[in-house]
Every structure is written in C-alpha cells, then in structure tokens.
Amino acid sequence: MIESISIIFPVFNEEKRLNDCFQDIEKFLKNSKIENLEFIFVDDGSLDNTPIMIKQFIENKNNFKLIKLEKNIGKGGALINGVLASNNYWVLTLDTDISVSLEELNIWIKENYLDNNKIYFGSRNIKKLKVDAIFFRKFIGFIFTTICKILLKINIKDTQCGFKLYNNEVGKKIFSNLKETGFAHDIEIVLIAKNLNIPIIELPVHWIHKPGSKVDLIKDSLKMLLTIIKLKNNFN
C-alpha cells in the first residue's frame, strides 16, 4: 500500500488541455486511499495562460504547488526540477494531457504490483492492453524501440510513456544524474538505472492519443536518433 506520493506534471503551453488534467486530479482525489498526496506542476517557461490556470486551480490547496521556470528547457529539465523538489516516499511522473489517467495508479496499487527497490514504467506495448493511438505513431514507436534495442541494448518495450513511478530515493538518484533535458531523457533514465543496477519493471496502462501534442514525430524522431548515438558513446 502506498501511504505517500508526490505527483509531478511537466507543463508547457497546455492551456487547452489543462482542464482535462484538473478533472482527472479531482476524480483521483475522490477515489484514492493514499493518505499523503503532493501535486507539483512544473511550468517549463509557458507563454500562454498555463501558469495562470494552474495558480487558480491550486489556490487554497495545501498539497499543491507550482514551480515556474523562467525559460523553456525541455520536459526532462522540468522533471528534474519537480522530482528534486518532491517530499513524499513515492514519486510519479506523468504527462499533463492525461493520455494515461491517474486512475492507473490505483489499479497498480490494487494489483499489488509495487516493490520499493524498482522503477515502474507504464507501457503501451504489453499485449492485451487497450491503446488508442494513430497507426503512424505506433509505427514510429516500433522503429524507435528497435533502434534502442540494437544500439543501446535496451530491452524495454516502451521507454517513452510518461507514466513512471520511483521511490523518492531512487528518483532523486536518477534525476540528479540526468543530463538530457528534452524528450530523450527517458532513454537516459534507462541507462542510468542500468548502471546503478536498479531494475525497471513495465506495467500495463490504458493509453489514449490526445490531440495537441508538442512532439513533432518526424523532426523530434531525428533529434532522438542523434541523441541515442550520443548516449551510446557516453554510456559505453
């Protein structure tokens, strides 16, 4: 049973999708039996109404806080700030678009999946899962996973799902060593964990494609490939 957890949301120009996030949080609060909850929004230099909306939502809520970064440094950088500022025993990171709902955490707890000394990755590539995604995204994901397996010897089926759980000590150890601040940070997390002999367990999640993603599948995939080559050299 999880008694305390910090939940980290990296946020950048999300004014059109924040209300869905807020609704998911409210639903989770009604159903959760976790005694001590901390919610941390890390605004990664948003230029729209994102920080205003978050401030309005968290007003008079003692267990919510906003970390505002002056400029955009990338999802990985936002997560570094959030995880290192967390206070509770467990740390969950997830995407603000709620492509994976917080309700998945309750399922993991109910199924007794969790152990203190492991990292847990939500996975969209475990058989029998319901994944609502466009074909092209699935295809790019398959190619990406294959490249990681060949070049980096990574056997994780889904590194890029944003729904990840750590105990606080492990999380801070990982993120204090993280150098990649963009979308490729997930790959470096796997490599750091491997060097530290920390097991990564993939657990099923229900994932739904949400419009408005900041990821350019072609442009960012090329960037990721270059980063993978760099990481291969760094972790040899």
CA-wise closest residue to 41 among 15, 66, 75, 77: 66
pLDDT recorded at residue 37: 97
Reported pTM: 0.87
Say if residues 29 and 37 touch (Cβ distance below 8 Å): yes
Buried b (16+ CB within 10 A) or exposed e, 170-180: bbbebbeebeb
Kindly indicate the confidence band of residue 213, based on its pLDDT and cuts at 50, 70 and 90.
low
pLDDT in tens, 96-127: 999 999 999 999 998 888 888 899 999 987 76
Which contiguous run of DSSP H or E holds residue 203?
strand 200-204
Q: Is the pLDDT score of 29 beyond 60?
A: yes
Amino acid at 153: K
Q: Is the pLDDT score of 53 beyond 90?
A: yes
Mean of the per-residue pLDDT values for the chain? 87
Give, in order, the Cα–Cα distances in Å from 18 to each of 88, 114, 136, 230. Answer: 24, 29, 26, 34
Give, in order, the Cα–Cα distances in Å from 164 to each of 113, 134, 175, 235. Answer: 13, 22, 13, 22
| 45 DSSP assignment | S
